[in-house]
């Protein structure tokens, strides 16, 4: 019998555009995802 844990199915390193897109796609597939980002903001090299 499997028990529910707080361990995500996938860990995405970096919250740049690719990391955010991968997280969205994985989440829509029903997987739980944790994003790890070193900076205090998301977006990677995208600046406005």
Mean pLDDT in order along the chain per 10 residues (48 residues): 83 97 98 97 88
pTM for the whole structure:
0.80
Residue 11 to residue 48: CA distance in whole angstroms: 27
Task: Specify the pLDDT at position 1.
Answer: 65
- Residues in CB range of 43: below 8 A, 6 or more apart: 15, 16, 17
Task: Specify the pLDDT at position 3.
Answer: 75
Tokens describing residue 27: 């989440």
Task: Specify the pLDDT at position 42.
Answer: 93
Task: Specify the pLDDT at position 47.
Answer: 80
């Amino acid at each position: 019998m499997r028990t529910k844990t707080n361990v995500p199915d996938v860990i995405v390193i970096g919250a740049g555009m690719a990391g955010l897109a991968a997280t969205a796609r994985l989440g829509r597939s029903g997987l739980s995802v944790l994003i790890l980002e070193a900076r205090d903001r998301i977006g990677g090299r995208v600046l406005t």
